[in-house]
């Protein structure tokens, strides 16, 4: 099952056409992410958070439409997005798309991105989209195919001290069994040249930014 989570970030590049919502998708608004849902007549199945960023008229409306509300105290140990991810996992999500999670406060933006690297989502396919770029995390031994993404810009940023056995196929700047260390800029601004390009990693953790 796929969950789509609307966070409380910037939404200027997003529209429902970016991610076609399917009938079987679980739609979650992470607190103020409800604004995006209401702008496009999307009624979420679930809203999660302390509700400090929610318009109470909108909250009343979605409650009348059958939306489940999970409210937390303002003083809590996790962000609304992390709590929303947990709710999605508890409901059996195997794929999670996170929308409108960038922009605004830098600390919140970094936290939203790093959630994809946490143990919380091990074994779950998580992507963050803002309408122009897609961000995902590659953990451990893995192969990621980039289908029909030729022409896209690809940047790879190590999140572990070193990432080993990196092979890039179908790229302007290919790599073969090489390593990237935390803090290096070598993995920035590659270009996908092939409709079946691939990223292979033997060990470590990489953040991929595709756009």
Residue 45 has pLDDT above 70, yes or no: yes
Torsion, Cα 6 37 86 183, to 10 degrees, reads 0
Tell me the CA distances in angstroms from 134 to 4, 48, 104, 152, 211, one per residue in order.
Answer: 14, 23, 18, 10, 6
- Tell which residue, 158, 120, 154, 153, has the closest CA to residue 138: 158
- Residue range 103-118, pLDDT digits in tens: 878 999 999 999 999 9
DSSP character string of 125-142? EEEEE-SS-EEEEEESSE
> Between residues 169 and 130, which one has the greater pLDDT?
169
* Residue whose structure tokens are 């092939």: 194
Strands 153-158 and 162-169 turn out to be unpaired
Please tell me the distance from the alpha carbon of residue 83 to that of residue 71, in angstroms, as a whole number: 10
Reduced to 3 states (helix: H, G, I; strand: E, B; else coil), residue 58 is helix
Asked if the model's pLDDT at residue 85 lies above 70, the reply is yes
pLDDT at 14: 62
Choose between 40 and 111: higher pLDDT: 111
Task: Flag whether pLDDT at 15 surpasses 80.
Answer: no
**Which two structure tokens, joined as six digits, stand for 210?**
């595709």
Give the pLDDT confidence score for residue 131 in this predicted structure.
79
Domains of the chain: 2-132 (3.40.50.10240), 137-210 (2.60.120.320)
Q: How far is 85 from 206, CA to CA, in rounded Å?
A: 20
> How high is the mean pLDDT of the chain?
93
Model confidence at 18: pLDDT above 70: no
Hey, what are 39's tokens?
Answer: 């702008």
Q: Are 100 and 38 in contact (CB under 8 A)?
A: no
Each residue's pLDDT tens digit, 169-204: 999 999 999 999 999 999 999 999 999 999 999 999
3-state SS class at 205: strand
How far apart, in whole angstroms, are the C-alpha atoms of residue 152 and residue 171?
10
């Amino acid at each position: 099952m796929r969950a789509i989570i609307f966070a409380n970030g910037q939404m200027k590049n997003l529209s429902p056409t970016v991610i076609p919502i399917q009938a079987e998708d679980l739609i979650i608004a992470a607190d103020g992410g409800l604004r995006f849902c209401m702008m496009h007549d999307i009624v979420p199945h679930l809203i999660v958070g302390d509700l400090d960023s929610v318009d109470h008229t909108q909250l009343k409306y979605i409650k009348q439409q059958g939306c489940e509300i999970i409210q937390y105290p303002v003083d809590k140990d996790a962000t609304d997005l992390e709590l929303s991810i947990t709710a999605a996992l508890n409901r059996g999500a195997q794929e999670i798309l996170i929308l409108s999670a960038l922009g605004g406060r830098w600390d919140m933006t970094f936290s939203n991105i790093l959630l994809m690297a946490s143990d919380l989502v091990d074994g779950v396919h998580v992507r963050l989209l803002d309408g122009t770029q897609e961000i995902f995390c590659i953990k451990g031994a893995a192969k990621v195919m980039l289908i029909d993404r030729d022409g896209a810009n690809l940047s790879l940023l190590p999140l572990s001290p070193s990432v080993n056995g990196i092979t890039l196929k179908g790229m302007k700047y290919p790599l073969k069994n090489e390593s990237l260390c935390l803090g290096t800029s070598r993995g920035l601004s590659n270009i996908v040249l092939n409709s079946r390009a691939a990223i292979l990693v033997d060990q470590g953790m990489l953040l991929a930014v595709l756009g």
